[in-house]
């Protein structure tokens, strides 16, 4: 039998409008979830989630062998004893490596001299023994190279406990810092670290403390508290190692404070007081702060300001605003400024000498990602960057900014496969949206795949927070491509692929552009002969899961199947509840439903509120019981309501991992079991058996 959740109507009233939520009872507090002896409500929720999991296993049982084959196939392409490209910092070379069969990494370093022996800073496989989830957070070595601070999360709620290790003796210090965001920033004296703590209810990072080694956490000095609950905060050190920085940020505003890292008893000074709609980001070079900002610059510009005069009236343009180019970031070197840009939706790397000469790196794929990475050395002509495309595995290069010569340091290996880039085709197309906007699409498929009404196509998108979805390589995806699927990414509004306005046109009261763009891309691909509605599939996660829920309500007959991962689907109720993590500082993304205009608009697209008695396509939903970003009850309520109202006999399934949160399993390989389930779901709908 299909699971059937009990119905307990709850009236939710605001703005003289009443919503009836039959499954409001599924929400549990953290205290209820953690209690050793569950109360009646908790037990009812657990029973329902377990019923859904049991139903999933029953319906998909005929694919068990195929799932196992897919899992082994996916994992088989991954190098088991892999190692990262070493990064040099302060006299040491740092890297991570995996041993054969290991699910967790070893974090290592070597001194930068011939014959230096490896030091294992953290042994992931040993540390993770006995834990169903084990997340290693940020790691930070003291300036004298003798101490390591690192964060550990064993629940998957992104609440980390920080430990300190003496790297000379291997012993742990007695210092333990709880309820943190996982990262530490060292002062230059090797005795003090700064760290952030989280609001225990909302998980907002809101306090920054100074911890002196050898003292108790209870005695730590509160350095900064972000009292505006629409902001979160953090702390870091500039690349120059000269200044400590505290930042406060929300969607549309930032504020930075600085302190000399050698004078920790000094006064923190604000660079530019926060203003609505003013974003800025800071690094340091010589006698100036360099700032990327949107001040009179929709697509951002780069300015500098004297350290003695930091407010915005002192900002001088280094790279002026350009209407058609998005300035995404910058890296400072002694003799060079490297700027990361986005031009016509594609990433670009621009190298500029401080004396004015400049050039762009050249890339040839129709769609790709090129991004600078791990450039910790200040006095060098070598730029390190990563490159990947839909047909090119992730590659790390060192580029000489003077000679323009480059060296490939490492390219991702694809094992147990006859993979080569020449066997696959990548394309970049544009669909026309309802309002005439051209929406980019990145596609990849295996050579020989015939475009027809019977060709299966999986369309992916995200479309929120200004996050650009990059057209990068995935060895996992080969399991789809090699079985005849076309894979497509819709670069819809709400992301930032085509510049800042692309984001602005897909949020707040323009959010529906995100959904209609995706639908228009699906229709375009059908009209272009790539597939048909009988073989078109959609996939999205988190805010992309909201997208899936919206397009299911708006155009259910366009898709044969939809996969919604950790989906944000109960938009109105979540945004009305300021005790839920992420709610308060997302008002600038979705709007505040306490304002009737935003309430009405949200309600008009909120997936949960718009489920109707009609036919829906085949649906697979995934979630995690400990998810702190999209609480498990959103997908649980959604599937219950779909079961209650939908008028078709199509498949409707939910996989709730009872041990993980938003990011899924912590192990290197374990997460691919859910990927294998997802692929088996799609293949089963296509009658692909092996």
Backbone angles phi, psi at 288, to 5 degrees: -135, 155
How buried is residue 128: exposed, middle or buried, by Cβ count under 10 Å (0-12/13-18/19+)?
buried
Closest CA to 506 of 463, 549, 476, 547: 463
Q: Residue for token digits 């935003």?
A: 598
Annotated catalytic residue within 253, 655, 662, 666: 662
Active-site residue (options: 156, 232, 249, 542):
542
In sequence order, the 6+-apart residues with CB closer than 8 A to the CB of 21 are: 9, 10, 12, 573, 637
| Contact assessment for residue 551 and residue 559, using Cβ atoms and an 8 Å cutoff | yes
Alpha carbon separation from 181 to 137, 152, 467, 521, 605 (Å, rounded): 8, 10, 21, 38, 33
Q: How far is it, in rounded angstroms, from Cα 471 to Cα 495? A: 13
Is residue 288 flagged as an active site residue?
A: no
Q: 44 an active-site residue?
A: no
Instruction: Give one DSSP letter per residue of 323-352, joined into a string.
Output: TTEEEEEEEE-SSEEEEEEEETTEEEEEEE
Long-range contacts of 165-169 (CB under 8 A, 24+ apart): 165/121, 165/122, 167/119, 167/121, 167/141
Tokens of 661: 């949160």
CA distance 414 to 474: 10
Q: How far apart are CA 263 and CA 372, in angstroms?
A: 31
Q: Rounded CA gap, 294 and 250, in Å?
A: 14
Is residue 191 a contact partner of residue 172, using CB atoms and an 8 Å limit? Answer: no
Nearest to 651 by CA among 625, 680, 630, 675: 680
3-state secondary structure of 586: helix
Contact 120, 113 (CB under 8 A): no
**What's the DSSP call for residue 533?**
G
**Which of 165, 160, 209 lies closest to 185 in space, CA to CA?**
209
User: Residue 117, exposed/middle/buried by CB under 10 A (0-12, 13-18, 19+)?
Assistant: exposed
Write the burial class of residue 639 (CB in 10 Å: 0-12 exposed, 13-18 middle, 19+ buried).
buried
User: Catalytic: which of 627, 628, 655, 666?
Assistant: 627
**Count of CB atoms situated within 10 Å of the CB of 295:** 17
Q: Helix crossing, 512-527 with 543-554: angle to 10°?
A: 70
d(CA 612, CA 412): 46
User: Among residues 135, 199, 156, which one has the least CA distance to residue 581?
Assistant: 199
Strand partners, 432: 438
Q: In what order do the strands lie in the sheet with 253-260?
A: 232-237, 243-250, 253-260, 269-270
Question: Would you call 542 a catalytic residue per the annotation?
Answer: yes
Phi and psi at 388, nearest 5°, equal -155, 150
Q: Among candidates 394, 422, 395, 393, which has minimal Cα distance to 406?
A: 395
> Among all residues, which ones are annotated catalytic?
542, 627, 662
């Amino acid at each position: 039998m299909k699971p059937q959740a009990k119905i307990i109507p709850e009236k939710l009233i605001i703005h003289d409008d009443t919503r009836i939520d039959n499954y409001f009872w599924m929400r549990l507090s953290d205290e209820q979830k953690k209690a050793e002896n569950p109360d009646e409500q908790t037990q009812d929720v657990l029973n329902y989630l377990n019923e859904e999991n049991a139903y999933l296993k029953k319906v998909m049982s005929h694919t068990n062998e195929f799932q196992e084959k897919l899992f082994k196939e996916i994992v088989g392409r991954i190098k088991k004893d892999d190692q990262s490209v070493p990064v040099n910092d302060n006299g040491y070379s740092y890297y991570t490596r995996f041993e054969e069969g290991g699910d967790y990494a070893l974090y290592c370093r070597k001194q930068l001299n011939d014959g230096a022996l490896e030091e294992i800073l953290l042994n992931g496989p040993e540390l993770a023994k006995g834990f169903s989830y084990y997340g290693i957070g940020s790691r930070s070595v003291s300036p004298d190279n003798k101490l390591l601070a690192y964060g550990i999360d064993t629940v998957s709620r992104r609440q980390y406990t920080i430990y300190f290790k003496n790297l000379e003796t291997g012993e742990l210090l007695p210092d333990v810092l709880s309820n943190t965001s996982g990262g530490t920033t060292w002062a230059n004296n090797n005795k003090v670290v700064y760290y952030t703590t989280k609001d225990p209810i909302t998980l907002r990072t809101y306090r920054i403390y100074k911890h002196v080694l050898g003292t108790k956490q209870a005695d730590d000095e509160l350095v900064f508290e972000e009292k505006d609950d629409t902001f979160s905060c953090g702390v870091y050190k500039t690349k120059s190692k000269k200044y400590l920085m505290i930042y406060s940020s929300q969607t549309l505003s930032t504020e930075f404070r600085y302190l000399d890292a050698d004078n920790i008893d000094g006064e923190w000074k604000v660079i530019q007081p926060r203003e609505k709609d003013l974003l800025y980001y800071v690094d340091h070079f010589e006698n100036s702060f360099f700032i990327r900002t949107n001040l009179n610059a929709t697509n951002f510009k780069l300015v500098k300001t004297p350290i003695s005069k930091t407010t915005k009236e002192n900002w001088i343009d280094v790279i002026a605003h350009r209407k058609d180019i998005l300035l995404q970031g910058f890296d400072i070197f002694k003799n060079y400024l490297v700027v990361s840009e986005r031009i016509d939706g594609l990433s670009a790397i621009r190298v500029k000498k401080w004396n004015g000469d400049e050039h762009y790196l050249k890339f040839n794929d129709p769609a790709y990602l090129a991004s600078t990475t791990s450039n910790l050395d200040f006095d060098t002509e070598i730029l390190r960057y990563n490159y990947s495309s839909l047909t090119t595995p992730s590659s790390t290069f060192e580029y000489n900014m003077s000679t323009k010569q480059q060296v490939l340091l490492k390219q991702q290996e694809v094992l147990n496969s006859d993979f080569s880039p020449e066997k696959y085709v990548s394309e970049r197309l544009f669909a026309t949206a309802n309002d005439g906007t051209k929406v980019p699409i990145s596609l990849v498929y295996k050579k020989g795949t015939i475009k027809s009404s019977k060709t299966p196509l999986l369309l992916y998108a995200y479309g929120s927070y200004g996050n650009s979805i990059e057209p990068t390589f995935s060895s996992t995806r080969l399991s789809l491509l090699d079985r005849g699927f076309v894979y497509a990414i819709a670069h819809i509004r709400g992301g930032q692929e085509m510049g800042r306005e692309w984001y602005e046109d897909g949020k707040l009261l323009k959010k529906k552009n995100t959904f209609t763009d995706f639908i228009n891309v699906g229709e375009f691909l059908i009209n272009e002969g790539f597939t048909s509605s009988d073989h078109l599939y959609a996939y999205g996660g988190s805010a992309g899961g909201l997208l899936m829920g919206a397009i299911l309500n708006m155009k259910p007959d366009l898709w044969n199947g939809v996969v919604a991962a950790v989906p944000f689907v109960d938009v109105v109720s979540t945004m009305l509840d300021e005790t839920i993590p992420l709610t308060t500082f997302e008002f600038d993304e979705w709007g505040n439903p306490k304002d009737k205009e935003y309430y009405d608009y949200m309600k008009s697209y909120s997936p949960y509120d718009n489920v109707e008695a009609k036919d829906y396509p085949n649906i697979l939903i995934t979630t995690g019981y400990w998810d702190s970003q999209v609480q498990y009850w959103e997908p649980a309520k959604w599937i219950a309501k779909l079961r209650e109202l939908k008028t078709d006999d199509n498949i409707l399934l939910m996989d709730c991992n009872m041990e993980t949160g938003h990011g899924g399993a912590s192990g290197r390989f374990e997460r691919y079991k859910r990927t294998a389930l997802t692929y088996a779901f799609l293949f089963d709908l296509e009658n692909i058996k092996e």
